[in-house]
Amino acid sequence: MENKAKILTVAGKGGVGKTSICACIVRLLTERYPDKKILAIDADPAVGLSVALGVDVKLTLDDIRSSIVDSVENGETREALELLSEARFRIFDALVEMPGFAFLAIGRPESSGCYCKVNSYLKEVISLLANSFDYVVIDGEAGIEQIQRRVMEKVTHLLLITDQSKKGGQVITTIKNVADELIAYDRIGAIINRVTNPELVSLMEAPVEILSAIPADSAFAANDIKGKSVMELPADSVMLTGVEEALRKIEIL
């Protein structure tokens, strides 16, 4: 069945504001499309997206995976099979309903050992789940490999986040190269975040179109220090308007 959801995946070097941008995307979608079903997936083990969106996470996908694996390791095969068939329902238990969107945390990467069967099953369940939403926003780890391995192989929009550093540019180039091998996507673009020198943006070597260059945002920094979520950012904040510009360019807004 063709997936009707628009699936936006955000990836980039650690520490460039990837999770904050992801949270801004969720907020902008909920404001623009109050009648649409929106799912935010936190695929970064640091679980920062829940904090940025003000979500209290009680159960992660990794908790579900671990309980299945423990049953297998303890030789309780029958129980493991039952758990696997229950996993779909348990994922719904892990879904947190928030005003305007639903939230799912993947949790930390699996520990050593191969849980390929469990992983591929859970990934299938996520794809089925995604199919009942209009928009899915995924906050990934620094790379793209674990999104492909643990979440899904097909996304519609891939957003690469970097700062103005040469290293950041190299990281998003690597991510794009890996993404080209591993996942199918329809649209791709880059957001340059925390820009300190706008004149130099045009000199950046980005492997894809630069959708937006966002200056350092003092309102966002103040919001962050106070422990407030992105949902509480002033509507005219530089971060929000910059992300909005990027989403318009890739025809999401």
Instruction: Please report, for the chain, the start and end positions of each structural domain, with discontinuous segments joined by +.
Output: 6-249
* Burial readout 91-123 (b: 16 or more C-beta within 10 A, e: otherwise): beebebebebbbbbbbbeebeeeebeebbebbb
Mean per-residue pLDDT over the chain, rounded: 87
Residue 192 and residue 162: Cα distance in Å, rounded?
A: 5
Q: What local confidence, expressed as pLDDT, does residue 115 receive?
A: 60
pLDDT at 253 over 50: yes
What is the CATH architecture assignment of 6-249?
3-Layer(aba) Sandwich (3.40)
CB 23 within 8 A of CB 170: no
Residue 167 and residue 236: Cα distance in Å, rounded?
A: 30
Residue 101: φ, ψ to 5°: -160, 165
pLDDT category at 114 given cuts 50, 70, 90 is: low
pLDDT tens-place string over residues 164-186: 988 888 989 999 999 999 889 99
pLDDT at 2 over 70: no
Q: Which of 102, 113, 147, 128 is nearest to 3 (CA)?
A: 128
Residue 241 and residue 245: Cα distance in Å, rounded?
A: 6
pLDDT category at 6 given cuts 50, 70, 90 is: very high
Q: Which of 135, 136, 174, 242 is nearest to 12 (CA)?
A: 174
CB 86 within 8 A of CB 125: no
Question: Bridge partners of 223?
Answer: none
Residue 11 and residue 90: Cα distance in Å, rounded?
A: 27
Ramachandran sector of residue 75 (left: φ over 0; alpha: ψ -120 to 50; beta: rest)? left
Residue whose structure tokens are 């957001």: 191
Residue 189 and residue 252: Cα distance in Å, rounded?
A: 12
CB 87 within 8 A of CB 68: yes
Residue 14 and residue 7: Cα distance in Å, rounded?
A: 21
In the three-class reduction of DSSP (H, G, I as helix; E, B as strand; rest coil), residue 96 is classed as: strand
* DSSP state at residue 109: P
Residue 41: φ, ψ to 5°: -115, 120
80 versus 219: the higher-pLDDT residue is 219
